[in-house]
Amino acid sequence: MEFKQLEAFVNVVKYKSFSKAAEATYLTQPTISTHISSLEKELGVKLVDRNGKESRPTKHGRAFYNYAINIIHTRDRAVIAMTDLANEIAGTVDIKTSGIPGQFIVPEIIAGFHARYPKVTFNVEQSDTGKVWDDIQENLGDIGFSGYYINNSLKCCMLLSDRPVVIVPRTEKFINIRRDREKLTLDDLMDEEFIWREEGSATRRTFEEWARSHGHNDLRTVAVVNSIEAIKECVKNGLGVSVMSQTAVKGEQGSEEGRIMVFELEDMDMEREFYMIYNRNTTLSPAAQKFKEYVESRYMG
């Protein structure tokens, strides 16, 4: 068993494609196929299902993948330790992130880290919270950033917190409310239609749970949009209202101009938290380990 075989297998699983794995490693697709076939022959099991549009690991492949990841990362960390090149760390960190962290937290983090370790590059994939947790659990990414705590299957480090706010179009109704008070009530929103992120959105989940606890199960949905900036534009154009993390509307909050207004909610004494997550049972690569330590020192001292 050779490292080049393990690396080929890991990349095929990560990228779900022999051709994409070849592009990522600057090898040819036949070379990747040969490495996988040799590994399967040595182990006596089929590791990758080649049928269909995507190449996916078999039952044996899924089990072997975690071992392969740990072997490769342990080798890389051993090389770093033995050659004392801590300041010359290189490689790629695969980051999985949900919407708010991906747009408003992760960019600043990776810019700060890259300034210290310029040879490290990043693959950043943004999805919903549920998929982020699944991907990190399955070792399809190194480090995850999430706006919702799902369970204790992963190592979870709280970074910061904020609260959900409501964004509304600048209509006569909401202008009049703002003249009288600073906060909205749920009753103010019962005649409104909501623009939501996808079902796995942590902000959406937090608000819906709070609304149900206050007896409101009948929130009406006009659109589901998988983009924070697109939701803002929909609200500005009068399509409906939405709920967002306060972090996502720092530029709009307090502004008396434009076509969007930001309100806090009456009686909503609830803060949401943002987390860094990683698989405690997986050995991180030297670059990912150093990145994790950087985030911890930045937010947790």
**Is 80 exceeded by the pLDDT of residue 34?**
yes
How many helices (H) and strands (E) the chain has is answered by 11, 13
Share of the chain above pLDDT 70, in %: 94
- Kindly report, residue by residue over 175-188, the tens digit of the pLDDT: 999 999 989 998 99
10 Å Cβ neighbour count for 6? Answer: 20
Helix ranges (H only) for 181-221 are 202-213
C-alpha radius of gyration, the chain, whole number: 23
Q: Name the pLDDT band for 82 (thresholds 50, 70, 90).
A: low
265, burial (CB in 10 Å: exposed 0-12, middle 13-18, buried 19+): buried
Q: What one-character DSSP code corresponds to residue 262?
A: E
Q: Model-level pTM?
A: 0.67
Are the beta carbons of 187 and 279 closer than 8 angstroms? Answer: no
Question: Tens digit of pLDDT for each residue in 175-234?
Answer: 999 999 989 998 999 899 999 987 777 778 878 888 888 888 888 999 999 888 999 999
Domains in the chain with CATH codes: 1-84 (1.10.10.10), 95-122+129-156+272-301 (3.40.190.10), 164-270 (3.40.190.290)
